[in-house]
Amino acid sequence: MWPWEHAALAYVLYSALTRRRGRSPGDVATLWVLVASQLPDLIDKPLAWTFGVVHSGRMLAHAPVVAVPLCVLVYWYFSRRSTPEYGVAFGVGYLSHVAGDAVGSALVGEYAYARFLLWPLVSVPVDDQESVLGEVVDGLSPSPWLLVSGLVGVAVVGLWIADGKPGLGTFRRERSGSWRRDG
Ligand SMILES: [Zn+2]
C-alpha cells in the first residue's frame, strides 16, 4: 500500500471508532493516527534499504511480535499522562498499517509478503530493490487501480472535512500560542 493509502485506512478506522463513541476525532489524536500509520515503513525501509540491518522493508517493525508490545507500551505511556486517547490513536494507526500490508499482499496472491506476520518464526523474502523501484513506477502509472485509489482518497478527504478537519486545529492553536490537549 502507498503511504497515503495507509493514512486513509487509518483515518477511516479511527473516525469510525470515535463516531461509535459519539465523538469526532480530536486534533492531536488525528496527528498520532497519521504518524503511526507511516511508522512501520519509516522504521523498516531505512533499516533494510539504507543500513542493511534487516533484509526486508516489512520485517522488524511490521511484525506483530514487535508491533503489539510497542502499541501497548505507547498506550501505557499516554495513559500515565492522562491522554489514553492518543495511545488508542497510535494503536489504530500502527496496527492498521500492519493489517493493510498483510491483507493487501494476500489480495494480490503475494502470500510470501504477508509472512512478516509470523516473523521471526518464519522467514520473510529478501527485498529486491530494483523490483521494488519498478513497482513504484508501475504503481504511479495511470491505471484503473490508481483511479480507484484517487477516488477513495477524495472520499476520505470528504470524511475528514465532515469530521471538522481534525488536526488542523493543532497548528492554528500553536500559531496563536494557545495549544491545549484534546481527545
Ligand atoms: Zn509497510
Say how many Å lie between the CA of residue 175 and the centre of ligand 1.
33
Residues 37-52 have a mean pLDDT of 94
Confidence band of 175 (pLDDT split at 50, 70, 90): low
Distance, C-alpha 183 to centroid of its chain:
19
CA 27 centroid distance within chain:
17
The total number of residues shown for the chain amounts to: 183
Å from CA of 98 to ligand 1 middle: 6
Question: Does the structure show a pLDDT above 60 at 180?
Answer: no
pLDDT at residue 30, as a whole number = 97
Distance 123 CA to ligand 1 centre (A): 17
Q: Which residues, including other chains, have CB under 8 Å from residue 112's CB and lie 6 or more apart?
A: 105, 124, 125
Phi-psi region of 164 (alpha: psi -120 to 50; beta: other; left: phi over 0): left
Residue 1 pLDDT level (bands cut at 50, 70, 90): confident
Ligand 1 centroid to residue 167 C-alpha, Å: 23
Question: Is residue 86's pLDDT more than 90?
Answer: yes
φ and ψ of 61, to 5 deg? -75, -15
Angle (nearest 5°) at CA 31 between 27 and 34: 140
- How many angstroms does the Cα of residue 179 sit away from the middle of ligand 1? 32
**pLDDT tens digits for range 9-44:** 999 999 999 999 999 899 999 999 999 999 999 999
Tens digit of each residue's pLDDT (9 = 90 or more) over 129-150: 666 666 666 667 778 888 888 8
The predicted structure's pLDDT at residue 131: 62
Ligand 1 centroid, distance to 97 Cα (angstroms): 6
Tell me the C-alpha to C-alpha distance, in Å, between residue 140 and each of 136, 145, 169.
Answer: 6, 10, 32
Mean pLDDT (the chain, rounded): 89
Per-residue pLDDT for 100 more than 90? yes
CB 182 within 8 A of CB 26: yes
**pLDDT at residue 128, rounded to an integer:** 75
| CA 174 to centroid of ligand 1, rounded, Å | 31
What integer pLDDT is reported at residue 90 of this predicted model?
Answer: 98
Q: How far is the CA of 57 from the centre of ligand 1 (A)?
A: 7
The answer to whether the CB of 34 falls within 8 A of the CB of 28 is no
